């Protein structure tokens, strides 16, 4: 029996090839693929590969290649219907029963494909004849040679009724021509006329390379759309179809990047320049179905956009559609072309190397969203910054995969914090007559008070770092090196060394185990101080998670971000030590140079007080 294509595609979507093959072959992950010993030959070196994203297996030793159905047929002796029924049962799908109506429908679809194939050959012939002279001149003017025209099966739809006459002479009825979109029936009841007239035609195929429609570029000066696609038919839906998809599938298998351009000529130009994995939507923004389709070819296809404001908006429209569909390892890359250029014009004017440079500089989806939202509105007030965070987190909330959503949330938190942190760092800069930031109208505090405040704050931050590690030792895997580079007081330094010793020898990263180890080695008093309210009241993120809390990576984000921020503050303080030492030495020298060093040290200490009083301490909470 013949199974509906949508039913077969549903099985392929639900059943990874590695799951089917893995029941017979021991597979190992190697990059994007799995590798194992051939089930078809006796071999010692693995030559059998499986690619879930592309939905096939390939055996280099035997040359066998196929999908989940052919693998069962080859290894279990099943025929095709039996393989389909077995896999359908495995995933709980009910096998549709072929009815007389279904059989008629499938036969009809085969007739539609045949009619379009005959039409495609007719249009190809017309392009080579005198009637296609202007169309040939247009294509040659765009730099296309005969081999390219032949390979992409470009054609010409003449004016008049010659197409209809030729196809009806091949047994294609008027009703069939209407159904495949080659004829259009006027609303006033007149005789149907050809849908494409005086146009260069670009055949559009399905994933299997069968012609399902056409795109046409107007040659004359008639008041009609410059570009025109086939109307929707039983075979063709422009929102679900991509130009050059069948060729791009093979190119992707051969190792080419998948590139999404805007139009037919861009795809052809990219292909001629060596970028064989190019596809294009059909005159509309990329749809969710088309995004899913390109993900079947590559996990991170590259989209090409103009480098102007319109290109940025177009990129965001695609980003908005892609966000709910994101999965681990599956995203989009964005390449921005110079203003006024498209791939066709860029390659024609500057060559393939220029296009390669553009593609190699493509940016990930997270960067595109961040750049767009950060630059679209001013960020000079707290309210506007809050609005940026709201917009970013609204985008994050659209991601349905919780793992991907968590990482986007963390990425945006870090970027927002860093962007605003840099601006806050500017508040302590010298302005006007040399007074410090918002202390300009105040008499400067004494050096003694500044030194005491700075020293107390540094020690508190050192305590917070170690308290966070003691309560969340799992963070040592990421922060051990940064922790080792900090300058600590003598007592805290000994405690840090013991923590590193425990980390190097521990079988796990359990907080209670760490506390027991420290207590048994004479650090019980310090642990008590560090985990006391006196320290933790300054940094809520350093506290232990509640005992009844479900552990999730997201629950560690406050501790991770707080620890990262506190280490950064301490590292910056260490870099200031040398200047402060110069200032202390200069206090009694009395020379002009010593006075300069003295005021430099005073300024640095004042900056640290500005940070303490201006929000840094609050950031720790």
Q: What CATH number corresponds to the domain at position 345?
A: 3.40.1360.10
Backbone angles phi, psi at 306, to 5 degrees: -65, 150
Give the pLDDT confidence of 447-468 residue by residue, as tens digits: 444 455 567 788 889 999 999 9
Query: Do residue 116 and residue 171 come from a single domain?
Result: yes
Task: Confirm whether 390 is domain-assigned.
Answer: no
Please state the pTM of the whole predicted model.
0.58
Query: Do residue 227 and residue 280 come from a single domain?
Result: no
Query: Do residue 583 and residue 528 come from a single domain?
Result: yes
Structural domain ending residue among the three candidates 188, 216, 236 = 236
Query: Do residue 362 and residue 223 come from a single domain?
Result: no
Share of the chain above pLDDT 90, in %: 45
Task: Confirm whether 404 is domain-assigned.
Answer: no
Task: Confirm whether 176 is domain-assigned.
Answer: yes
The residue range of the domain holding 272 is 245-373
Query: Which residues pair with residue 170 across a beta bridge?
Result: none
Query: Which residues touch 494 (CB under 8 Å, ≥6 apart)?
Result: 523
Task: Confirm whether 131 is domain-assigned.
Answer: yes
Which pLDDT band, with edges at 50, 70 and 90, does 82 fall under? confident
Task: Confirm whether 496 is domain-assigned.
Answer: yes
Task: Confirm whether 420 is domain-assigned.
Answer: no
Which pLDDT band, with edges at 50, 70 and 90, does 540 fall under? confident
Q: Are residues 183 and 173 in contact, defined by beta-carbon separation less than 8 angstroms?
A: no
Q: Are residues 115 and 180 in contact, defined by beta-carbon separation less than 8 angstroms?
A: yes
Give the pLDDT confidence of 355-373 residue by residue, as tens digits: 999 999 999 999 999 999 9
Query: Do residue 488 and residue 606 come from a single domain?
Result: yes
Query: Which residues pair with residue 435 across a beta bridge?
Result: 431
Query: Do residue 285 and residue 354 come from a single domain?
Result: yes
Mean pLDDT of the chain: 83
Break the chain down into helix, strand, coil percent, rounded to 5.
60, 10, 30
pLDDT of 444 > 50? The answer is no
Give the pLDDT confidence of 222-269 residue by residue, as tens digits: 677 889 999 999 999 999 999 999 999 888 877 899 999 988 999 999
Which pLDDT band, with edges at 50, 70 and 90, does 505 fall under? confident
Structural domain ending residue among the three candidates 90, 119, 147 = 90
The rounded Cα 544 to chain-centroid distance in angstroms is 35
What pLDDT is attached to residue 95? 81
Task: Confirm whether 358 is domain-assigned.
Answer: yes
Q: How many Å apart are CA 353 and CA 257, to the nearest integer?
A: 15
Query: Do residue 105 and residue 24 come from a single domain?
Result: no
Query: Do residue 104 and residue 70 come from a single domain?
Result: no
Take residue 335 and report the two structure tokens written for it: 């390449």
With 0-12 / 13-18 / 19 or more C-beta atoms within 10 angstroms meaning exposed / middle / buried, residue 45 is exposed
Mean pLDDT, residues 212-219 taken together: 94
What pLDDT is attached to residue 6? 82
CA angle (402 as vertex; 397, 406 as ends), nearest 5: 75
For residue 354, the surrounding DSSP H or E stretch is helix 352-360
What pLDDT is attached to residue 541? 87
Strands 199-205 and 155-157: antiparallel
Query: Do residue 71 and residue 208 come from a single domain?
Result: no
Determine the angle formed by the axes of helices 402-425 and 365-376, rounding to 10 degrees.
40
Per-residue burial over 340-373, b = 16 or more CB atoms within 10 Å of its CB, e = otherwise: ebbbbebbeeeeeebbeebbeebbebbebbbebb
Query: Which residues touch 255 (CB under 8 Å, ≥6 apart)?
Result: none
Q: How many Å apart are CA 197 and CA 131, to the nearest integer?
A: 12
Query: Do residue 476 and residue 576 come from a single domain?
Result: yes
Structural domain count, the chain: 4
Query: Do residue 33 and residue 140 come from a single domain?
Result: no
What pLDDT is attached to residue 98? 64
Query: Do residue 184 and residue 249 come from a single domain?
Result: no
Among candidates 245, 155, 163, 236, which has minimal Cα distance to 202? 155
Structural domain ending residue among the three candidates 209, 236, 263 = 236
In CATH, what number is assigned to the domain containing residue 132?
Answer: 3.90.980.10
Task: Confirm whether 417 is domain-assigned.
Answer: no
């Amino acid at each position: 029996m013949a199974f509906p294509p949508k039913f077969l595609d549903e099985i392929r979507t639900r059943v990874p090839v590695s799951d089917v093959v893995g029941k017979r072959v021991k597979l190992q992950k190697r990059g994007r693929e799995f590798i194992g010993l051939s089930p078809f030959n006796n071999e010692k070196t693995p030559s059998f590969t499986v690619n879930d994203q592309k939905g096939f297996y390939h055996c280099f030793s035997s040359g066998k290649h196929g999908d989940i159905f052919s693998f069962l047929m080859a290894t279990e002796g099943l025929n095709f219907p039996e393989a389909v029924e077995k896999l359908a049962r495995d995933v709980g799908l009910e096998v549709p029963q072929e009815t007389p109506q279904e059989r008629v429908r499938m036969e009809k679809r085969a007739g539609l494909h045949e009619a379009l194939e005959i039409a495609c050959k007719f249009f190809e012939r017309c392009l080579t004849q005198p009637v296609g002279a202007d169309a040939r001149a247009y294509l040659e003017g765009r730099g296309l040679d005969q081999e390219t025209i032949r390979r992409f099966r470009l054609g010409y739809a003449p004016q008049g009724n010659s197409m209809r006459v030729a196809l009806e002479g091949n047994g294609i009825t008027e009703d069939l021509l209407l159904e495949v979109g080659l004829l259009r029936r006027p609303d006033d009841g007149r005789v149907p006329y050809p849908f494409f007239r005086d146009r260069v035609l670009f055949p559009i195929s399905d994933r299997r390379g069968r012609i399902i429609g056409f795109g046409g570029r107007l040659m004359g000066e008639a008041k009609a759309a410059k570009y025109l696609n086939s109307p929707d038919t039983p075979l063709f839906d422009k929102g679900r179809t991509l130009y050059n998809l069948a060729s791009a599938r093979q190119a992707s298998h051969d190792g080419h990047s998948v590139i999404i351009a805007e139009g037919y000529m861009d795809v052809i130009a990219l292909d001629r320049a060596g970028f064989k994995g190019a596809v294009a939507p059909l005159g509309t923004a990329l749809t969710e179905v088309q995004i899913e389709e390109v993900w079947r070819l590559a996990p991170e296809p590259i989209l090409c956009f103009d480098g102007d404001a319109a290109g940025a908006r177009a990129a965001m429209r695609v980003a908005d559609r892609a966000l709910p569909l994101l999965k681990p390892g599956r995203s989009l890359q964005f390449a921005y072309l110079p203003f006024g250029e498209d791939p066709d014009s860029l390659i024609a004017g500057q060559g393939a190397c220029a296009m390669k440079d553009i593609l190699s500089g493509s940016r990930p989806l997270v960067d595109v969203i961040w750049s767009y939202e950060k630059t679209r509105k001013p960020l000079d007030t707290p309210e506007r910054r809050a609005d940026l965070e709201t917009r970013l987190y609204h985008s994050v909330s659209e991601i349905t995969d919780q793992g991907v959503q968590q990482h986007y949330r963390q990425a945006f938190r870090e970027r927002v914090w860093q962007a605003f942190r840099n601006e806050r760092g500017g508040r302590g800069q010298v302005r006007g007559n040399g007074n410090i930031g918002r202390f300009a109208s105040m008499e400067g505090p004494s050096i003694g008070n500044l030194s005491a405040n700075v020293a107390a704050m540094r020690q508190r931050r050192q305590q917070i770092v170690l308290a966070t590690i003691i309560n969340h030792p799992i963070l040592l895997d990421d922060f051990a090196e940064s922790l080792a580079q900090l300058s600590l007081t003598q007592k805290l330094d000994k405690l840090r060394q013991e923590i590193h010793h425990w980390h190097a020898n521990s079988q796990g990263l359990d907080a209670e185990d760490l506390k027991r180890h420290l207590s048994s080695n004479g650090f019980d008093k310090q642990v008590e101080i560090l985990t006391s309210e006196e320290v933790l009241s300054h940094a809520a993120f350093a506290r232990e998670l509640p005992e009844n809390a479900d552990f999730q990576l997201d629950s560690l984000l406050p501790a991770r971000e707080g620890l990262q921020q506190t280490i950064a503050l301490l590292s910056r303080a260490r870099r200031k030590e040398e200047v402060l030492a110069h200032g202390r030495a200069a206090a009694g020298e009395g020379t002009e140079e010593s006075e300069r060093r003295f005021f430099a040290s005073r300024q640095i200490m004042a900056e640290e007080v500005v940070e303490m009083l201006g929000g840094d301490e609050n950031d720790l909470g």
